[in-house]
Amino acid sequence: MEAFDLDVRRHVYFSIVANGHPSSVAETATAFARDVPEVEESYRRLHEAHALVLHPDSVDIWFANPFCFAPTPHRVTAGGRVWTGTCAWDALGIPAALHTDGEIDSECACCGEPVRLRVDEGELVEGADLLVHILVPARRWWDDVGFT
Amino acid sequence: MVFLRSEEHLTRWLDANGWEPGATITADKMNELSSVWWWTRLDPGWRPRTSQESQAILDNLDLTGEFWQLG
């Protein structure tokens, strides 16, 4: 991965933590005093490298795992903000990434009943007996990451 | 990757969608995996993990077998 792409990725993630959302291509271009097309290409390379995920046919960030920027059933309260987790795995990953405690409000995929999980100093102190199901084998996780 | 309340709900959910089962773990186990997998995501010096490094995380949590093989 190119050094510039790593810098862009770091800027995107720092924007997420600071502002609750990722920096757009235009904002990142301004931050690095680069042309927009250069940064668009960087976003696309990061997408190809699975370092972030763009909306189809767009340079808008869909998710920068574990943070998601489209609606899902997984709402995560951590670090003074309410976040959206891409999936069950990522919902639990948000407190881990932020190195903080967190609460996950989600739903049972079968019946839609609310479920709550709570992470305290890394331990799951509420919701530990819930199940997580992974449909797609690991080697195919990135074939259709939205479905995974 | 979804939460389910019980094995019964899992079976009903799979049947309703016509899906073959994948892998089921407890939320507690998923939290163990998430803690390791995402811990370094915001590190200023973050670099992509190699496939071998990612596989080692799964293996160390006993997430083994064909389903959990990354490549």
The CATH code belonging to domain A3-64 is 1.10.10.10
How long a stretch of residues is chain A?
Answer: 148
pLDDT at A78 over 80: yes
Query: Across chain B, what does the average pLDDT equal?
Result: 95
**B23-39: average pLDDT:** 96
Rounded CA-CA distance A39/A45 in Å is 10
Chain B nearest C-alpha distance from A37 (Å): 24
**A99-117: average pLDDT:** 97
Do residues A117 and A92 touch, judged by C-beta distance below 8 A?
yes
Q: What is the pTM of this model?
A: 0.93
- Contact across the interface for B44 and A110, Cβ inside 8 Å: no
Give the number of beta-carbon pairs within 8 Å between A and B: 161
- Assigned domain for B9 exists: no
Q: Which chain A residues touch B36 with a CB distance below 8 Å? A: 96
Helix axes A25-32, A36-48, angle to 10 degrees: 110
Measured between CB atoms, does A48 come within 8 Å of chain B?
Answer: no
Query: Which pLDDT does position A140 carry in this prediction?
Result: 83
Query: Which pLDDT does position A1 carry in this prediction?
Result: 82
Q: How many domains does chain B have?
A: 1
- Assigned domain for B7 exists: no
Q: What is the pLDDT of residues A65-75, one digit of tens each?
A: 999 999 999 99
**Can you give the residue ranges of every domain in chain A?**
3-64, 68-126
- Assigned domain for B40 exists: yes
**B3-26: average pLDDT:** 96
- Contact across the interface for B5 and A131, Cβ inside 8 Å: yes
Rounded CA-CA distance A88/B25 in Å is 11
- Assigned domain for B5 exists: no
At A62, the pLDDT band (50, 70, 90 cuts) reads very high
Chain A nearest C-alpha distance from B5 (Å): 5
Rounded CA-CA distance A50/A122 in Å is 26
- Assigned domain for B63 exists: yes
Measured between CB atoms, does B49 come within 8 Å of chain A?
Answer: no
Helix axes B51-60, B27-38, angle to 10 degrees: 150
Nearest Cα residue in chain B from A3: B47
Q: What is the pLDDT of residues A18-45, one digit of tens each?
A: 999 999 999 999 999 999 999 999 999 9
**CATH superfamily assigned to domain A68-126:** Alkylmercury lyase (3.15.10.60)
Helix, strand counts (H, E) of chain B: 3, 2
ipTM value greater than 0.90: yes
At B61, the pLDDT band (50, 70, 90 cuts) reads very high
Query: Across chain A, what does the average pLDDT equal?
Result: 95
Query: Which pLDDT does position A144 carry in this prediction?
Result: 72
Query: Which pLDDT does position B5 carry in this prediction?
Result: 97
Rounded CA-CA distance A69/A62 in Å is 5
